[in-house]
Amino acid sequence: MKRHWLKLSAMTIAGVLCFSSISCKNETKSKTVKAITVSFEKEGELQIKKAASDSISTKLDIEVADDDYSTQTGLMYRKHMEAYQGMLFIFPDSDYRSFYMKNTEIPLDIIYISENKEIVSIQKNAKPMDETSLPSEAPAKYVLEVNAGLSDTWNLEKGDVIEFNTY
């Protein structure tokens, strides 16, 4: 009886596997790759002030990266960013930071900012798709990414300060 049941079970399993393989072969698989567009999402506002005069250099709408996923992804896969937009990375502590441009398609200025919200260093004109390390010159709690060339347009210098609010 057990032998007959085992033989019947083995034949049933073989039949199911055969049917599965036949039905799988008849399925057509799509080879189309869908492009995902990542768009800017305003999550706050930021202003940069000159240290010497306390005058406002610029105001930006910001997207915030403050968790592991958004910090690791950053501005990757973006095709465009407006001149009045930026991404502010907020870290839980102040430390030496280093960014790179892997999978980032737009050139950027990377502005490193201390815990007391002073600019400590700027990496200008970071090249798209380049994996070269772009480190801060001092500990930073915040990092602001903007379109390449804007730090020169705004005449940013070490010591200039930021203020921001998030929603």
pLDDT tens digits for range 99-146: 999 999 999 999 999 999 999 999 999 999 999 999 999 999 999 999
Identify whether 32 is part of a domain: no
The domain containing residue 49 runs over which residues? 44-166
SS (H, E, C) 35-85: CCCCCCCCCEEEEEECCCCCCEEEEEEEEEECCHHHHHHCCCCCCCCCCCE
Identify whether 25 is part of a domain: no
* Beta carbons within 8 Å of 83's beta carbon, 6+ residues apart: 147, 150
At 60 the pLDDT is 98
Instruction: Tell me how many domains the chain contains.
Output: 1
Please report, for residues 3, 12, 19, the alpha-carbon distance to residue 8 in angstroms, rounded to integers and kept in the order given.
9, 6, 16
**Statement: residue 12 has pLDDT above 70:** no
Identify whether 30 is part of a domain: no
What is the average per-residue pLDDT within 14-42? 61
Cα–Cα distance for residue pair 87/71, rounded to 1 Å = 10
Identify whether 121 is part of a domain: yes
Identify whether 34 is part of a domain: no
**Statement: residue 15 has pLDDT above 60:** no
**Statement: residue 40 has pLDDT above 50:** yes
Token couple for 123: 């990496």
Amino acid at 159: G
**Residue 8 — very low, low, confident or very high, per pLDDT cuts 50/70/90?**
very low
Yes or no: say if 104 and 75 are a contact pair by the CB < 8 Å rule. Answer: yes
Identify whether 87 is part of a domain: yes
Model confidence, pTM: 0.79
Q: How many CB atoms lie within 10 A of CB 90?
A: 17
CATH of the domain at 100: 2.60.120.1140
